[in-house]
Structure 1
Amino acid sequence: MLDTSVKFFESAQAGAPTSTGQVGSLIGLLDACLVNGFGQVTVATLSVASDVATLTVSTGHGFTMVGNVGPVILIAGAEPAALNGEWRVASVTNTTTLTFATSEIADCTATGTITVKRAPAGWEKRYSGTNKAVYARTALDASPALIRVQDNGVSPSTAYTALIALYETMSDVDTGTNSTASSLRYIHHSNAANSTPMAWRLIANDKMAYLFIDQNVWKTAAAFGDLNSYKAGDLYSCVLNASNSAGATSPPIFYSLLSSSLMLRSYTGAAGVITVGGSSHSKSNAFSNAPQPYPSPVDNNFHAWPVEMWETAANVARGMLPGLWNPIHSQSSIPQGTIITDIPQLMGRTLFCQSVSGTNQFVCAIDITGPWT
């Protein structure tokens, strides 16, 4: 069966939450994508034949493919119960029918009051308050760090700027230990205090999330979750990358922000927040800022490098950002939304090219197939 760990969410999807310039907007978006899922509809028929499940709805399921990658859906209420849970869609036949591969489920027609929705990334909302939330990752090998979001318009924030911080432990939505809160980071979910929806994308698994919001031509970008750490059993591998500027109209671009990412502790385990910075191919000191076009004239392929995070003070490499790639091509040859599948070094993977700057000048690439190993 296809891997279901990586989830791709965007504002254009059926039932998606909105990102606006109103307080609480970001928390609503994160709740829907990370914790609850969205776009639930009632299933008309669900049948299995020769390890292929066919699902139909009466009025439109709202699911679409991204290139050759199907959405991850969550089925509930079906009998046999083995059909309940997460599945990656293999094909979308039309607006009312889709299929997915099964294993060890006998041919059958399911019964029950069956629902299907876009599956969440598998996070937990540990604590909540009025326009405040604390999120935990549920992966068994995730670090214990918690991510706190304050989206209530309190100074120095505004109605369209949320504060985000890591905590080592928390006892409620406002109380915790060893935090990055002294070095404020911001997520600008709009560029004006109004109800105008912004385009957005969030790509995540149960340990890491990448968020992009088009508040000023895709200037808002953030990453929060665990590195693929070089240290075995790293309890402090969680990294926070978000704007270090309170101004929503001209926040730094994503790649520049990588130089001032935060972690709760050094690889030594000594208490105290540290700064970490990203490093990748020297011919591309920002995403897709290299001279060569795509495809490469040398081998007619796509070239990309991973992004490695280095501890600033210790000057040592801590680990890699999972699923994130730096295209070694000119942005003009891989514009926003380009889908790449012909990657010899990443066989079977699909990368989605996402703009991360105010002029669409810089583009990162994210693996939407999974798993992020």
Structure 2
Amino acid sequence: MAVKLYSSYAGGGGHPVLSGTAGALIALLDAVLINGYGLKTVDSIVVASSVATMTINSGHSFEVGNTALIAGATPSGLNGEKKILTVSSSQVTFDATGISDGTATGTITAKVSPLGWLKPFSGTNLAAYTSADSGSYGMYLRVDDTGTLDARVVGYEAMTDVNTGTGAFPTGTQLSGGMYAGKSSLANSTSRNWVLVGDERFFYLWVECNVASAGLMWAFGDLVSYTSTDLWCATLSAQGSSQVAYAGQWSTECVSYSANAAQPYMPRAAYGQPGSVKTSRVGGMMWNTGGASGAAGYTSNMLKFPNSTDNAVMVTHVHMAMSGSGLRGRYPGLFHCPQDLTGSGYNHRDRLPSMTDAPGRVGLMMRHGGPAFGVGANTVIDITGPWR
């Protein structure tokens, strides 16, 4: 399954704008999950030595790691989804192995490729999304984006319209109105930076609601299950209350911080008994119960960077734990770092070309700590894939 990267940081504009206004989150999710964005007419594509250079003189919305969706080119092998290798203000490159050197013909267009999900139901500032993948567990994400600072989100096992569903997680009793997906600390149209990484069955959305280069992150979709018989191994991991105004933002609501102020919910227990269950996260044997990924002061026995034997960044998978019954699955493509990365030189959105437990994968550093955690507080998302 293809892993795709999206963000507001790409030059050239054209990306969806997230702000503290009603409907802004749905507009972002529509663009990323369903439609793609940044459609441009291509001036030329030139292939040389198995690398295609695409020129868009009017500017573009791509960054390294994005997936472009190209159409209208001859030879036809240049069409379809292409992972972006390099970027400049007017050019991008991608792999063109098997295509002869030369200049493409045709009326060519390119845009940032959508993640490929479905939006079966919608209303005024309301939407429901679900995976289009045939192997998915088929859960729905309902987004109520009628508010300004936060949207409210609920997972469902099934839905018949945007306001009607069964098998809610969390239930109204567990958290009335649903979980919180932060947009901005200000109820206005000021844009906020965001990053979304996902595949056909799961996505993470990081949002810079308040503090520069430190954000809240939430997630939805199918976990990587530890058994083929668990048909409910999905989660909505978001905030249990609004955190957009907090000056020391952290990603408690998702996976970066191990204290369970966050509330990950799953639709059922692994054996199928109906009823939403609140769960917790475990970051392998190295995760202290109060440790923030990459942050100083993780524990009195903090692992230092770099690791003395191999100079590596140490990471561990993040697992979903059920009280009294052990580990049920893990978050796809997400890693927790038990080292103190303060002073390591790694910053928000830096790329890690090599990680323990993730050989051959490029990791994206995602900052989650405000002043309380320091600059080292980063969680790591695999942007290479596949996650499954």
TM-score normalised by the chain length of structure 1:
0.89
1:169-226 CA-to-partner distances (Å, cap 9, x unmatched) read: 1111111111124232101100121111112111111111111111122342101111
Verify: 1:117 aligned to 2:106, yes or no.
no
Match of 1:177 in 2: 166
Question: What code does the residue aligned with 1:296 have?
Answer: N
Verify: 1:343 aligned to 2:355, yes or no.
yes
What is the rounded CA distance, in whole Å, between the counterparts of 2:372 and 2:47 in structure 1?
44
Verify: 1:71 aligned to 2:81, yes or no.
no
Match of 1:42 in 2: 41
What is the rounded CA distance, in whole Å, between the counterparts of 2:107 and 2:372 in structure 1?
45
Match of 2:4 in 1: 7
- Aligned mate of 2:143, from 141, 149, 158: 149
Match of 2:83 in 1: 88
Whether contact under 8 Å (2:8, 2:193) holds in the other structure is yes
Map 1:128-167 to 2 at 5 A. Answer: 128-153=122-147, 159-167=148-156
Match of 1:202 in 2: 196
Verify: 1:293 aligned to 2:304, yes or no.
yes
Verify: 1:317 aligned to 2:327, yes or no.
yes
TM-score normalised by the chain length of structure 2:
0.85
CA 304–247 in structure 1, closer or farther in 2 if over 3 Å, else same: closer
CA 344–221 in structure 1, closer or farther in 2 if over 3 Å, else same: closer
| CA-based RMSD | 2.2
Structure 1 residue 344 displacement after superposition: 5.0
What is the rounded CA distance, in whole Å, between the counterparts of 1:339 and 1:140 in structure 2?
32
CA 215–83 in structure 1, closer or farther in 2 if over 3 Å, else same: same
Match of 2:217 in 1: 221
Which structure 1 segments of 5+ residues have no match? 154-158
Question: What code does the residue aligned with 2:164 have?
Answer: T
Match of 1:101 in 2: 95
Map 1:352-367 to 2 at 5 A. Answer: 352-359=364-371, 361=373, 362-367=377-382
> Which stretch of the first structure deviates more once superposed, 302-311 or 314-323?
314-323
Which structure 2 segments of 5+ residues have no match? none
Question: What code does the residue aligned with 1:278 have?
Answer: R
Quote the sequence identity (%). 35
What is the rounded CA distance, in whole Å, between the counterparts of 2:309 and 2:382 in structure 1?
24
Structure 1 residue 103 displacement after superposition: 4.6
Match of 1:24 in 2: 23
